[in-house]
Structure 1
Amino acid sequence: MLGKKRMIGKKIDELEIGECYWAAHTIEDKELLLYLGLTDDANPLYIQHDYASQTPYKRPLVPSVMLFGMVSTMVSMHLPGPGSHITSHNMTFPKPVYHYSEVKFNLEVQSIDMPNHLVVLSVTGFDSNGDQVICGSLHVTPPYKPESMTASSLDNFY
């Protein structure tokens, strides 16, 4: 890993209010099974078709936390990007998402708090019918500018 230069995301002074990132994702069985296995979540509503068919949902759902995980990935990889950290979130899931659904997500910078090194992002997500399936906000610390390794590596030498 040493020697490989890694990119970091947008630093706080590079972000602008109104800046957006859009992404679409189709939820496949393999992702659901990986999530359920990693979290040891055995909720029959998420995987058992026979159980789900007897509920008002009529078919298995995608766990809400899995949708939040997709949002978290967008923050970590795109807006602000690598080096970011979500410090708080407020999410609602007004409509269920079903297996094999495509969800279109949007992140938008709502505010920038330079002194506290914090940005607020709004999150929305829509299914293929255009119905909102996720809505909320995130408080995120964007990546910090790394210190130069050479700036301090020679501190003991004059």
Structure 2
Amino acid sequence: MLLDKKRKLGKQLEELSVGESIQLTEKIEDKDLLLYLGITNDNNPLYIQHDYAAQTAYEKPVVPTVMLIGIVTSAVSKYLPGAGSYIREQSFQFPKPLYHYETVQIQLIVEQIDLVSRDIIVRVEGINSNEEIVLEGTVIAVPPIHPK
């Protein structure tokens, strides 16, 4: 199926520049967690049981790290480089947990453009409302190729 006139493909490699960035703000709500748990069937008590989490070093339920990765992959697909792009590789660290009901700001910055391999390296950083890093890493993405 071809894209209709309302949908546009993202930026091609030649349209991107080093330093280009996007910042997203996401508040993690119950509905987001319930959708994740429903899709993955992941019933880790650290994610969903307040009484269990209160007895751990975390003290309250944490957001599954794969949800943060999902926000990043969605941003790559929607914005940088955008629709039609493909993530070839990703690497993330999660220095601090993100807790239920917290807000996270995620920034994606084009760090490198490789004209030979035709991909880009995007640096990613996520910060919670206490200005702590909860996500950092890189994504190697192949920008969309526009059909002729």
| TM-score bucket of the superposed structures, by smaller chain | over 0.9
- Within 1, Cα distance between the matches of 2:2 and 2:91? 37
Q: Moved runs in structure 1, 4+ residues, more than 4 A?
A: none
Question: 1:154 aligns to what?
Answer: none
Q: Output aligned runs, 1:141-156, within 5 Å.
A: 141-147=142-148
% identical equivalent positions: 49
Matched, 1:4 2:4: yes
Q: Name the CA distance, whole Å, in 1 between partners of 2:70 and 2:125.
A: 14
* C-alpha spacing 1:35/1:113, structure 2 compared with 1 (3 Å): same
Gap runs ≥5 in structure 1? 148-158
Deviation at residue 4 of structure 1 after TM alignment: 2.5
- Residue number in structure 1 paired with 2:35: 34
**Where does structure 2 lack aligned partners over 5 or more consecutive residues?**
none
> What per-residue deviation string (whole Å, max 9, x for no partner) do you get for residues 97-135 of structure 1?
000100000000011111211100000010011111100
Residue of structure 2 in register with 1:132 after alignment:
133
> Match of 2:21, as an amino acid?
C
> Counterparts of 2:37 and 2:86 in 1: how far apart (Å)?
24
Query: 2 CA distance for matches of 1:3 and 1:21?
Result: 24
The letter of the residue matching 2:54 is S
TM-score when normalising by structure 1: 0.90
Normalised by the size of structure 2, how large is the TM-score?
0.96
User: How much is the aligned-residue C-alpha RMSD, in angstroms?
Assistant: 1.2
State the match for 2:54 in structure 1. 53
